[in-house]
Amino acid sequence: MHSTYLYRSLFGCIRISFVTAAVFFGALALADRAGAQEPASPQRRTSEAPVIAQHAGMATPLRELIQEAEQKNPQVAASFHAWQASRNVPKQVSALPETQLSVQQFSVGSPRPFAGYSNSDFAYIGFGASQDIPYPGKRQLRAQVAEHEADSMEAQADSMRLTVVGNLKMVYFHLAYVQQTLGVLQRSDALLTQVQEAAEARYRVGQGNQQDVLKAQLQHTKILQEVAHHHQEEGLLEAQIKQVLGRPQESADIVAEALTLRALPYTATELLQKAREQNSDVHSKQASIRQQETQVELAHKNFRPDFNVQYAYEHTGSQTRDYYMATFGIRLPNRGRQKAELAEAQENQERARQELEAESQRVLSEVQQQYVRATTSEERLKIYTDGLVPQSEATFQSALSAYQSNRQDFESLLSGFLDVLNLDLEYRNELVDHESALAELERLTGVDLP
């Protein structure tokens, strides 16, 4: 999902000044076809190029897809319900133990119920109730442990949402890249058709050679192959997006908006601070520490005894008066078991601290890496737009003029054409890397970049 599609050969190259190239090749084709004869030509295409389907429908903004994913993604929904379920645990663990009610029947002289009830002073029917009472403070501590666990679950649910949204952005950026480059490949194929025709015209009048024509045909075939590969990548990426959105795979195709360069309005220090304050994974670990700290406090409290109160009423069938009995009991804890429980809680507390430290270092390292990636990528994009691209176009124009005046061979012209296309590919690929880095920073810091 996070792969970057690198095509460094001609048939994957994209960026070119198409207005300039179209004017050039159109003029070149018209000039070379003027007065052309029809000698035996070298091998021509064995079949016409297949019709390349254009995208139908309007582009769907990324923000709309993000909202849809947050509402319909099964992973996001599952983590949300897990958090909602955890919110009901504190009430359970803080409640008093269940009250026990009992009914007793004591008979004399026979095992049958109520036998001898009216002729024995010992026979009776009794009703009683029993209630366990934890030591004061234990119930509140148990509730706090559950509340901290619910806080951790809430942070995990938010982390899952951000992860799903981040993955959606990555796939969306790559889909936009593939769809845009697909359109460029289509236009490049049309230009190469003109190149082939121009080379054939020059060959027919004796100004060119068969090798130039064959090279033009070869590049045309390569573009058709790359177009087919782009269609495959497009289908795979759309399938991934539909999975994230919870859409049926047979639903309508997704068209991405064109990628644009976004600025990064934060410094590295600001992003690191926001990650410390807003990162969901760090919040989850912090809640786990609070949970383990409370668990240690509860383990200390469990050395205290619990209590039990009972009350019973017994009604006799003779002249003996009824009985009333109240009982107060103390449940003494097993100190060996409680010492082991305390040791376990303390070790878990230290584990939670180390996990928080490790998670914080991981997040801050990723923020720094993505910041470096985004800023250096922005610098490289500026070099492309201000230097490499216009320089390659100027070189191509120079090769064009030389070729028109028979001072340049076809190989040099084709090399200039390749340079322009390769630089366009590198520029677009760099733009995907830049936007992917910003998407990662959004996930790690919780900020919403414009």
pLDDT (tens digit per residue) in 352-390: 999 999 999 999 999 999 999 999 999 999 999 999 988
What pLDDT sits at residue 65? 95
In this structure, what are the phi and psi dihedrals at residue 314, rounded to the nearest 5 degrees? -125, 125
What is the distance between the alpha carbons of residues 338 and 346, in angstroms, rounded to a whole number? 12
Q: What's CA 20's distance to the chain center, in Å? A: 41
Q: What is the pLDDT of residue 85?
A: 97
pLDDT, averaged across the chain: 83
How far is 295 from 341, CA to CA, in rounded Å? 10
Model confidence at 173: pLDDT above 80:
yes
Cβ 198 vs Cβ 25: under 8 Å = yes
Could you give the CA distance from residue 347 to residue 370 in angstroms, rounded to a whole number? Answer: 34
Residue 292's pLDDT is what?
Answer: 96
What integer pLDDT is reported at residue 194 of this predicted model?
A: 66
60: which DSSP letter? B
Sequence-distant (6+) residues with CB within 8 A of 171 are 1, 237, 240, 241, 244
Q: Which residue has the tokens 């240690």?
A: 296
User: Which pLDDT score, from 0 to 100, does residue 27 have?
Assistant: 38
Share of the chain above pLDDT 90, in %: 56
pTM: 0.77
pLDDT digits (tens, 9 = 90+) for 148-157: 999 999 999 9
Categorize the per-residue pLDDT at 224 as very low, low, confident or very high, splitting at 50, 70 and 90: confident
Averaging pLDDT over each range in 54-63, 75-84, 98-107, 195-204, which range is the top one?
Answer: 75-84
pLDDT of residue 13: 36
Q: How confident is the model at residue 183 (pLDDT cuts 50, 70, 90)?
A: confident
Q: What is the pLDDT of residues 380-435, one digit of tens each?
A: 999 999 999 889 888 877 877 776 666 777 777 778 777 877 888 789 889 999 99
